[in-house]
Structure 1
Amino acid sequence: MSHVGVGSRAVMRSVAFLTAGVLAVPALAGCTSEDPSGKPLAGPDIAAADRARIADGGTLRWAVDSVPDTLNTFQSDADATTARVAQAVLPSLYRMDETGRPVRNPDYLESAKVVETEPKQVVVYRLNQQAVWSDGREIGAADFAAQWRALSGRDSAYWTARNAGYDRIEKIERGASDLEVKVTFSRTYADWQSLFTPLYPKGVMGTPDAFNDGARRKLKATAGPFTVEKVDTKTDEVLLAGNPRWWGRPVKLERISLRAVPRDERVSELAAGRLDLAEIDPDTAEQVAVAAGPRDSGTGTPLMGPDRTPAEDAPASPLAGAQGRTAAQALRSWAVANGSDEEAAEEEVLAREKRREDLAKLERRQKALSGFEVRKSLEPAYTQLALNGAEGPLADERVRRAVARALDRGKLAEAVLGPLGLPAEPLGSHLALSGQAAYADGSGALGDQNAKEARALLADAGWVPGGPVKEGGEKAAGAEKGEDGKDQKRSAGADDGTYIVGEDDKNDDGNDGNDGDEGSNDGKDRADTDQVSGKNTAQGGAPGAYAPKGTAAPAGSVGVPLAKDGKALTLRFVLPSGPGSEALWTVADRISGMLEKIGVGTDIAKVPDESYFKDHIASGEYDLALYSWPTTAFPATDARPVYAKPVPSADGSLNVAQNYTRVGTDQVDQLFDRAMATLDQEEARDLLRKADARIWAAAGSIPLYQRPQLMAARKNLGNVGAFGFRTPVYEDMGFLKKGAQGAPPPATAAP
């Protein structure tokens, strides 16, 4: 699945006009007795095994998306592979646990405490006395100070991607001993645990030249279980080797080869025996699952959806497709091949030989893939529908809210996650995932799906059902642009200006759409619904008939295209076109159908992956788009630039930071700032939940579902696979000893 900005916290998260008093959020502030953060929807699936059962040695061949342009995670062109390398070779003072919360890493830290809060916040880090760089030098205060100076933002010669948190540090000093580092903050900083992970040696951070260029292709000193042996752009490989100075638990693997392999080529590389581990798309996962067979006794295929029998979900064997013949067809083939028509017989003999070759090839492929299994979880990332509020119809908050309230997010999550056997729960927060401390379902601030109230919001904004459309005006709703520029799909209207009269006022589930709006406190959602009563009062004609061009629709008709000032309400829906985007296409198609029911058309445009983000999302050339964000344990710091109110720059342009929907409010910014400035964790959680409720109400982006994580792994690989929230522990990864078995897959946590 294509996405943008997903990676560890080390990679920058790249890749609401609401008046005060409108929204009340007492229930969203975490004031109930029950913890609203819940539990993770899925745990890690890594074939956990005791280290005693892992063999020493071997090379783990791991597919990645790219060979990174830089090994410095604090530069703007760092990517997910940069972060993966940093996790293996550099100090991480804190790791994420299985619930997505930070935990101290004892390999580097004996302790870290806030020792003073007045007059200023002071944190003292006590380092593991064995912690050294690969060149033999002890990790110490000089490394902390160099990283602070480089990332503080005070010296523009450092080409940094971010400085959040480091800009709040006043000074760094040696503590009572060489093992202590004392950090004094100029302003209180709640997310101080996010700092110095990863930690680079002072040789990388000490000067602008070293920072900007010295760590792009090599790291002279590291301090993790592995070191960077080489970065080879010719073979598209980053090779990591065990660190001989590593002081922690001995590394099991001899090497890790991170090789760039396109997503659509990974199944072939797995079958050819050139990979041991690869993140894969659902189609590849199905092939691997069929070849591997069940992972335990009698529970169906690994991808079987919930509440379905194995017979319903088990994919047909590819071998049957290769054979592809019934008994009658086989008999006819034999007859033709042995018949009197020599020309037909020769063709059939050749065809039979080709089928035998294809079958033999598939059998070999299946046998090769049978050594793998699919390990699955949910990523610490989510997919959202972004609504560009900078211009066009979606600049009106009422239109954004109407679009959001037309969506059945449960059905969208089910479309992606259900077939994979993963919990298909819609996401309730922009800032955290279920199980994380800041999580609470804030979607009630927007309101439940309600087509009737969505149409009322659109009517209040002046969008008239079935209104006349000017000649030569807006193009028909729903025209999907292919790479040849031709229309491929239409929704909610016809290009001759006619409209289609709907049959009733029902949602997908068959109700009348009037589910109430218990979660909404916005008076605008209480618009008079008589004009959209849902009853077709048109005289004559059958439901679905075409009305003459320019005829206004009867009040309450469903699916009638809307227009205003002679222009149809059609939204440009931009999607990536490359391999792995199929799930996004499915979701977009479902969204288009839901919007069609309230009279909103969509014009779907699939664009090349390489231009999708830069030329469309970041530049604002879209109305609707699907892309993903990672979540971290530090939402006050990391999520703020995603939802901060855009501000004008000196040259008159709009500085949007990472808020590509261009929707933000002063209230949200203030709540983030207050959460970042309190050391009371409960207060910080409440402030973040309030911020999230206001982000929901502004409807600039609609979280849909937590992203699936599917990994093809050799069956004899232990402690590696779909990690979920958990930070990988590289020294524990390896191949099981002969005869050892991995642990069974963990049970999925209940929603």
Structure 2
Amino acid sequence: MRIRSTMIRLAIPMVALGMVVTGCSSSSTEGGTAALGTTNKINPHPVSDLKEGGNLRLSLSSFPASFNALHVDGNVQDTADVVSPTLPYTFNSNAAGELTVNHDYFTDIQLTSTNPEVVTYTINPKAVWTDGSPITWEDLKSQWQANNGTNNEYQSASTDGYDHIGKVERGVDDRQAVVTFSQPYGEWKGAFGQLYPKADTESPAAFNDWARNSLPLSAGPFMITNIDRTQNRITLGRNPKWWGDKPVLDTITFSVLDSMATVPAIQNNELDEAYVSGLEAVTGAKQAPGVEIRRAAEPTYSFIAFNGAPGSIFEDQKLRVAIAKAIDRQAIVNNGQHGIVDNPKTVNNHVYIDGQKGYQDNSQDVAFNLDEAAKELDALGWVMKGDVREKDGKQLAIRDVMYQQDQWVNTAKIIQADLQKIGVKMDIQTVPGTGLFTNVIDPGNYDLAQWSRSTSVLPIGALKQFYYYDPHNWQGNKSRIGSPELNAVIDQAIAELDPDKAIELANKADKMIWDEGHSMLFNQASGTHAVRINLANWGAFGLATPDYTKVGFLK
């Protein structure tokens, strides 16, 4: 299972636990493959076609460790799924990834100056938090101060954009924020992609714990109305303070399910929609009564990451690269997408997804080559002793950690078999969704780890979040790998206002990321969702933003 991200991913890309293995065949009955950014499949209908009320039943891989998506523990798609219907965000995206101001929350967002760079946010005068207090410029200022990287007590998932801002000031009134950048920032539309109340960001203690176990204050068409940790269920209900279009649905219910339980839940009419992966799961969901497959390519990919933290076995960049060359990414993609995709392809760029402008293959220096990998291990002093290499009396034995799901394990077995051929022992360890990041990946309790990541319609900002080298604040760089030289190129790419030059710099950074042996990417998600036939305005969104007020069931 891969978790569908329901938030617009502007400033804060999310990570997911489940495996992205599905694609779609050009001869499929669901309409075939369409390139990223060309379409979505949500069964569009006017609200007049829908029944009033109803409950939308969705699934999560794990219970959110935090409901603060700005926090390192909340920067996962399970959190995004839950909070997206409850919080303000700045821009809407259509299927082509084109952005327009979200007028529910802002009457206007304008780049009002380029020297210095100034963006003026004019807040909808009707917009209020669930306690009735107005959304004001102070909410933006407080969020900037919490995420700009000047105070490491804020355990921020990303400083991107915020660290380029010099000041946030009151505009013509409390409903206007004037944001002045101290450094150029090309993807300025990604700043404040999702807005939390000042109560969440006003101090490190609040930022780290205010939304740890609930979301006390929100401002969307829905709000969290019940959290049942015994049943592993979260319920959203209509927000009585909501000023926009009335939602069709009464409630949205999220249930935490093991990956093996998702398809049976669809088949037994216990879920209304779920992301499905692998031929068996897709086939099983497709055969369920009253269910159809909706597909649209989305900017998500799966990968395996090296842990290069000081003291780890993969602190050695040359060792990472040698092992990287022993990972047959194409075989992994072929295995995972056999019978689903006509021409399975690997993702070869950490910034752009195939179909986005700027995508190119920068992975050549770590291309699969077992003979070369073995020679490089020899040169590093890892010599064969029986079936396993040793150096200074220590075996070359590593551990690959992943979400407890068959597709991930199948991937690990392919890697394990190839590594065995060159004298590397690899153990496979699976972990349930709950605690995988907070207990294993975030503290660096792994050698290799597998998970998935969603990118963005504004992807360059993710470079700093995931690949910047800052031992004082790793943000989303869970591999703890990078260099000052890479940092410099990332900074240049983020600050470049010319889109073509920014793409050139982003690709220069991407080649450096590959050469660092940071992570090896597998396949892109096509976005395969099993959905109740009578559910409208919901399904495979691709690059588009959901409109939660228009989701509902046909009459």
Cα distance in 1 between the residues matched to 2:130 and 2:394: 66
The residue number in structure 2 matching 1:311 is: none
Structure 1 counterpart of 2:223, which letter?
T
Aligned length: 533
1:690 maps to 2:508: yes
What is the CA-CA distance between 1:716 and the residue it aligns to?
A: 0.7
Is 1:191–1:637's contact at 8 Å kept on the other side of the alignment?
yes
Cα distance in 1 between the residues matched to 2:145 and 2:400: 41
Cα distance in 1 between the residues matched to 2:4 and 2:50: 35
Residue of 618, 631, 634 corresponding to 2:455: 631
Cα distance in 2 between the residues matched to 1:468 and 1:63: 48
Residue of 481, 487, 501 corresponding to 1:669: 487
Cα distance in 2 between the residues matched to 1:89 and 1:612: 25
The residue number in structure 2 matching 1:716 is: 534
What is the CA-CA distance between 1:5 and the residue it aligns to?
A: 11
The residue number in structure 1 matching 2:28 is: none
Is 1:190–1:679's contact at 8 Å kept on the other side of the alignment?
yes
Residue of 382, 407, 410 corresponding to 2:301: 382
Deviations 1:422-446 (A, max 9, x none): 76211011122123344332123x1
The residue number in structure 2 matching 1:417 is: 337
The residue number in structure 1 matching 2:144 is: 148
Distance change in 2, residues 1:627/1:237 (3 Å): closer
Deviations 1:158-191 (A, max 9, x none): 6655444334433323334565421122333333
The residue number in structure 1 matching 2:401 is: 575
For residues 90-489 of structure 1, what are the structure 2 equivalents within 5 Å?
90-100=87-97, 102-118=99-115, 120-134=116-130, 137-153=133-149, 160-176=156-172, 180-206=176-202, 211=207, 213-216=209-212, 219=215, 221-282=217-278, 283-289=280-286, 291=287, 369-389=288-308, 394=314, 396-421=316-341, 424-444=344-364, 446=365, 448-462=367-381, 469=386, 476-477=387-388
Deviations 1:228-261 (A, max 9, x none): 3333334433222234554444422222222333
Cα distance in 2 between the residues matched to 1:11 and 1:251: 26
Residue of 618, 638, 659 corresponding to 2:477: 659
Residue of 412, 426, 438 corresponding to 1:588: 412
Residue of 53, 72, 77 corresponding to 1:80: 77
SS of residue matched to 1:684: helix
Deviations 1:700-724 (A, max 9, x none): 3211112464433211111212333
Cα distance in 2 between the residues matched to 1:656 and 1:212: 16
Bigger mean CA deviation after superposition, 134-143 or 186-195: 134-143
Structure 1 counterpart of 2:338, which letter?
G
Cα distance in 2 between the residues matched to 1:206 and 1:657: 19
Deviations 1:621-677 (A, max 9, x none): 544432333323444433324323364x6xxxxx75543444322221101111222
Cα distance in 2 between the residues matched to 1:2 and 1:673: 31
Is 1:280–1:711's contact at 8 Å kept on the other side of the alignment?
yes
1:678 maps to 2:496: yes
For residues 481-560 of structure 1, what are the structure 2 equivalents within 5 Å?
none
Structure 1 counterpart of 2:355, which letter?
G
The residue number in structure 2 matching 1:542 is: none
The residue number in structure 1 matching 2:548 is: 730
Is 1:101–1:437's contact at 8 Å kept on the other side of the alignment?
no
Bigger mean CA deviation after superposition, 670-679 or 684-693: 670-679
Structure 1 counterpart of 2:426, which letter?
D
What is the CA-CA distance between 1:688 and the residue it aligns to?
A: 0.9
The residue number in structure 1 matching 2:428 is: 605
Deviations 1:55-112 (A, max 9, x none): 3322212222344354332234324333223321211102344355654323333432
Structure 2 counterpart of 1:380, which letter?
P
SS of residue matched to 1:419: coil
The residue number in structure 2 matching 1:481 is: none
Structure 1 counterpart of 2:229, which letter?
T
Distance change in 2, residues 1:5/1:91 (3 Å): closer
Is 1:100–1:436's contact at 8 Å kept on the other side of the alignment?
no
The residue number in structure 2 matching 1:702 is: 520
Cα distance in 2 between the residues matched to 1:50 and 1:423: 36
Is 1:4–1:629's contact at 8 Å kept on the other side of the alignment?
no
SS of residue matched to 1:587: helix
Cα distance in 2 between the residues matched to 1:184 and 1:564: 54
Structure 2 counterpart of 1:148, which letter?
W
SS of residue matched to 1:63: strand
Distance change in 2, residues 1:60/1:427 (3 Å): same
Is 2:96–2:544's contact at 8 Å kept on the other side of the alignment?
yes
SS of residue matched to 1:113: strand
Distance change in 2, residues 1:587/1:70 (3 Å): closer
For residues 27-38 of structure 1, what are the structure 2 equivalents within 5 Å?
none
Bigger mean CA deviation after superposition, 53-62 or 234-243: 234-243
State the Cα RMSD in Å: 3.7
SS of residue matched to 1:238: strand
Larger Rg: 1
SS of residue matched to 1:691: helix
Distance change in 2, residues 1:694/1:55 (3 Å): same
Q: What is the identity percentage for the equivalent residue pairs of Structure 1 and Structure 2?
A: 31
What is the CA-CA distance between 1:693 and the residue it aligns to?
A: 0.9
The residue number in structure 1 matching 2:31 is: none
Distance change in 2, residues 1:100/1:618 (3 Å): same
Cα distance in 1 between the residues matched to 2:527 and 2:542: 7
Is 1:93–1:105's contact at 8 Å kept on the other side of the alignment?
yes
TM-score between the two structures when normalised by the length of structure 2: 0.82
Bigger mean CA deviation after superposition, 274-283 or 616-625: 616-625
Structure 2 counterpart of 1:572, which letter?
I
Is 1:99–1:435's contact at 8 Å kept on the other side of the alignment?
no
Cα distance in 2 between the residues matched to 1:4 and 1:463: 42
Structure 2 counterpart of 1:196, which letter?
F
Cα distance in 1 between the residues matched to 2:203 and 2:376: 56
Is 1:92–1:198's contact at 8 Å kept on the other side of the alignment?
yes
Structure 1 counterpart of 2:356, which letter?
Q
Cα distance in 1 between the residues matched to 2:262 and 2:341: 22
SS of residue matched to 2:260: helix
Structure 1 counterpart of 2:431, which letter?
P
Cα distance in 2 between the residues matched to 1:219 and 1:587: 36
Deviations 1:172-218 (A, max 9, x none): 23334565421122333333322223223345445666555554555
SS of residue matched to 1:198: coil
Structure 2 counterpart of 1:729, which letter?
D
Distance change in 2, residues 1:67/1:640 (3 Å): same
Cα distance in 1 between the residues matched to 2:419 and 2:518: 16
Is 1:381–1:630's contact at 8 Å kept on the other side of the alignment?
yes
Distance change in 2, residues 1:702/1:81 (3 Å): closer
Distance change in 2, residues 1:52/1:424 (3 Å): farther
Distance change in 2, residues 1:166/1:600 (3 Å): same
Cα distance in 2 between the residues matched to 1:736 and 1:395: 55
Is 2:2–2:277's contact at 8 Å kept on the other side of the alignment?
no
The residue number in structure 1 matching 2:30 is: none
Structure 2 counterpart of 1:630, which letter?
S
